[in-house]
Amino acid sequence: MPEHTPERLRALVDAFLRANDPAGERTAFLRARFDAGLAWVHFPPGLGGRGAPRHLQPVVDEAFDLAGAPDNRPRRNSIGLGMAAPTLLRHGTAGQQRRWLRPLWTGEEIWCQLFSEPGAGSDLAGLTTRAVRDGDDWVVDGQKVWTSLAHRARWAILLARTDPGMPKHRGITYFVCDMTAPGVEVRPLRQLTGEAEFNEVFLTGVRVPDAHRIGAVGEGWQVARTTLMNERVAIGGLPLPREGGMIGLLARGWRERPELRTPGLHEEVLRAWVRAEAARLTALRLRQQVAAGEPGPEGSAVKLSFAELAQWISGLEVEFLGAQGLRYDDWTLRRPAEPDLLGRTATYRYLRARGNSIEGGTSEILRTIVAERVLGLPREPRVDR
């Protein structure tokens, strides 16, 4: 039997489950799954995979789900799984991949992203955080902002300027920073929801070994593009069933609460349902394209659509609930392990969705990317290059 077929992979999962009890210790089970090459099946052998086509991953995940096996709680480590791992796979050394990928996949080590700065968010290439070479280390000074999971992270993917004399898209280097290192200070940023799921991070004389550099010195922008393309797919292209996500909550409420229906709102709900289904199928097609190679600029369109839909649907849900939709459960400052859009109130979803058009690339920047790189429209004048 050929190795890379759904039948062969299901047989491998069955054999693994006979040798490893899904009801046993969670971390030990996940480590064994990684070592068996049944974590990311499209990754190389020895790095959690089998070199199989990426589109076969759902076959493996479904087989483990049906057996009641524990997953790696992907929402707790979304940056590590969705952004750091594919970047390490493409640009990391063999030693870096062996050190970081296994505990990343099992969830033993959480990752965050030290990219945005107070003066370099949408214009990320304008970052000013400096890294100066000192022997076998780099000494990093600067400030990062909007850093999700920094208060829980063990590692961070970091962009810093190593040659300030170069044009801004050059002279940047990509590192992995130890979030427990001296000089790393994490401060919470309170959001509109009352929570603080992200932070500002101050780096003062932080020493980063050169062995933690990803890619060549000065070529961090090229490495970062891999991260950013995967980030937009990770945010906007998550696999969902029909009526999955927020549209499912709105549709369920419409069916179960007929006393709240109004004719005008009915038409809006129908429009939202159709757009959500179209976006879901587009994201499915994008994931199939990603299975054949690296994400392209189309991921920006999917993330843009996700942000607009989330804000529209959450607004419809609040409008549908009327006065009840104006109530909010808790303004207490909390530090959640992960955002919980579906398990909270409609008001929380409405407030939290405001950030969807900012995080992972602002909608304005994503429209420019779609215009120039997908539609082939003329580029905007750039005086900074």
Catalytic residues, which ones?
231
- Residue indicated by tokens 């483990």: 64
Query: Minimal CA–CA distance to 85: which of 62, 111, 60, 59?
Result: 111
Q: What per-residue string of b and e applies to 68-102 under the rule 16 or more CB within 10 Å gives b?
A: ebbebeeeebbbbbbbbbbbbbebbeeebbebbbb
In contact, 176 and 315? CB cutoff 8 Å: no
In terms of Cβ atoms closer than 10 Å to its own Cβ (0-12, 13-18, 19+), residue 381 is: exposed
**Nearest-angstrom CA–CA distance, 353 and 347:** 10
Backbone φ, ψ for residue 139 (5° rounding): -105, 120
**Nearest-angstrom CA–CA distance, 38 and 356:** 32
Mapped onto helix, strand or coil, the DSSP state of residue 25 is: coil
